[in-house]
């Protein structure tokens, strides 16, 4: 995706993991724009703020300083409306974290074109589930971090992208695909990102958004 899409109506749903990564790297606005949305159209989980304030897992991965710095940005975003389809929500809750279940149920109910998530386990769990209507509804609409990184590296120097994400060195994916020796050139960096993307793509049952169909995916 070389340019930003024409502005869309509606909302772009973002889970907490990828929201932290994009907010801390300063890429939140540009990534939203690539999907046709302004920052004020982003919607986050209600649990994002207490998780960032007190969540041990997030502190272990991102660090106290990063979380404190991005908290005002996260607080400024509107919260995802709870879905009315409680039957679908209950089905999804059996397969994944409650936050991811709410995110996906809301995307289907509100016709949101894309869902940005850092939870690849949730993607795999949905793909393996028998919630066929949900799988059909979300075909090509789930955007994982690797897809976002591919888009950023395609339009910018890999070393520049690495600098943007320099505060997230404990994130296991970023630590590898944006390491100093990987970001020496586009081919090396994109190859690393592709290997991570394809690992999820193989198990995703068509759910993943593909930013470069000619080069990503099987």
CATH at residue 28: 3.40.50.1010
Instruction: Output the pLDDT for position 5.
Output: 61
Number of structural domains in the chain: 1
159 Cα distance to chain centroid: 21
d(CA 13, CA 145): 14
- The pLDDT assigned to 6 comes to 67
Q: Is residue 103 part of a domain?
A: yes
Q: Residue 138 in contact with residue 130, Cβ under 8 Å?
A: no
Residue 1 confidence (pLDDT): 42
Backbone angles phi, psi at 16, to 5 degrees: -70, -40
Short-list 211, 215, 214, 156, CA closest to 1? 211
108 near 175, Cβ under 8 Å?
A: no
> Bridge-partner residues for 116, per DSSP?
14, 143
**pLDDT at 147 (0 to 100):** 97
Count CB-CB contacts under 10 A for residue 9: 7
What is this structure's pTM?
0.94
Judge whether 166 lies within some domain: no
95-112 burial string, b = 16+ CB within 10 Å, else e? bbbebbbbbbbbbbbeeb
For residue 174, being part of any structural domain is answered with no
Range of the domain at 101: 12-146
Per-residue pLDDT of the chain (218 residues; tens, 9 = 90+): 445 566 777 899 999 999 999 999 999 999 999 999 999 999 999 999 999 998 888 998 888 999 999 999 999 999 998 899 999 999 999 999 999 999 999 999 998 999 999 999 999 999 999 899 999 999 999 999 999 999 999 999 999 999 999 999 889 899 999 999 999 999 999 999 999 999 999 999 999 999 999 888 87
User: Is residue 161 domain-resident?
Assistant: no
Is 27 among the domain residues?
yes
Q: Is residue 35 part of a domain?
A: yes
To the nearest 5 percent, what fractions of the chain are helix, strand and coil?
60, 5, 35
Q: For residue 201, is it within any domain?
A: no
In a domain, 81, yes or no: yes
């Amino acid at each position: 995706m070389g340019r930003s899409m024409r502005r869309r109506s509606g909302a772009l749903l973002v889970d907490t993991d990828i929201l932290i990564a994009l907010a801390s790297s300063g890429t939140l606005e540009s990534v939203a724009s690539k999907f046709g949305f302004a920052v004020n159209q982003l919607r986050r989980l209600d649990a994002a703020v207490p998780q960032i304030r007190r969540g041990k897992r997030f502190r272990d991965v991102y660090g106290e300083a990063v979380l404190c710095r991005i908290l005002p940005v996260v607080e400024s975003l509107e919260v995802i409306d709870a879905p009315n389809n409680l039957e679908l929500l209950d089905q999804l809750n059996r397969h994944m974290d409650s936050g991811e279940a709410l995110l996906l149920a809301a995307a289907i109910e509100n016709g949101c074109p894309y869902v940005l998530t850092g939870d690849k386990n949730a993607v795999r769990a949905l793909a393996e589930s028998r919630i066929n209507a949900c799988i059909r509804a979300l075909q090509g609409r789930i955007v994982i971090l690797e897809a976002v990184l591919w888009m950023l590296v395609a339009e910018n120097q890999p070393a520049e992208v690495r600098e943007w994400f320099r505060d997230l060195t404990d994130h296991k994916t970023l630590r590898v695909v944006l390491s100093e020796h990987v970001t020496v050139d586009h081919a090396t960096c994109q190859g690393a990102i592709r290997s991570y993307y394809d690992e999820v793509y193989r198990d995703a049952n068509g759910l993943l958004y593909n930013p470069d169909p000619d080069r990503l995916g099987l």
